[in-house]
Amino acid sequence: MTVSFVEMFGPEPSDSESPLTNGQHTGTVCEKHPELKGKRTKKGNLCVGCKKVQVQNWRNANKEETSDRARQLRVLKRKKVIEHFGGKCELCGLVDDEVMTVDHIWDDGAEHRKQVKATVVLDWLIKNDYPPGYRLLCFNCNHKAHQVFRQTGNPPMSLYTIQREISRWADIQFPERDATSVANKLKQEMAEWQKDPDDAAELADVLILVLDWAYLKGVDMQQAINQKMVVNLSRNWIFNAADRTWQHT
């Protein structure tokens, strides 16, 4: 009778675990693998080296099941990554899992795939908690985005992507921040910008903080602006020459 992988070695480990290193401890040194200095598995108290050989022998004898499990895992990981990024293309809004791709925003995909191997990019994203620099695009937008980047040096990004990239960077750089601290920093940057309103860098700092504050409050600024502009377009506006501001009627 054929014994399944699960029956033989237990359930599939999580994305951050290895079937050969999860729950290791040190015990009696194995005569076959003395270089491992007694490293043993939690389940079965087996030498890690012997367990590795055991797993590989089973896979060699059950290649069809191994291939099926690998395909199933890839499908599940792909679904997990797509769901994390919102399930739609971040440029055109298309919802179709079959044509979604993970895009390297800064056009460094080739180098990244060399470093982590192309077949484990999904595992890498999950294990590293989706760091900045990645997004979900359909095939068409992925191709167009990299053409634009190579022509201009700037990746085309939706406001949704910009807000998420800023906040993921801030999560890593300033994990202790909250909405109050960001608001206080925003006041400081507003004062700096008002000293020189033509300074684009200072204006950028203001916008970065506004977007991060909105993120901490759970506000999708792209959606909020779109909804507000629908209202603004329906209103009548009057320009006040005295203070050079405008009001709606």
| In contact, 5 and 65? CB cutoff 8 Å | yes
pLDDT, residue 69, reads: 77
Using pLDDT thresholds of 50, 70 and 90, give the confidence band for residue 66.
Answer: low
Q: What percent of the chain has pLDDT over 90?
A: 65
| In contact, 214 and 163? CB cutoff 8 Å | yes
Phi and psi (nearest 5°) for 173?
A: -80, -35
| In contact, 109 and 88? CB cutoff 8 Å | no
In tens, the pLDDT along 90-110 reads 999 999 999 999 999 999 998
pLDDT, residue 19, reads: 43
Q: Is the pTM of this model over 0.75?
A: no
In tens, the pLDDT along 122-143 reads 999 999 999 999 999 999 999 9
Amino acid making up residue 195: K
Is the confidence at residue 2, as pLDDT, over 80? no
Q: Where are the domains of the chain?
A: 1-61, 174-248
Angle value at C-alpha 223, between 222 and 229, nearest 5 degrees: 90
* Residues forming beta bridges with residue 104, ordered by sequence position: 134
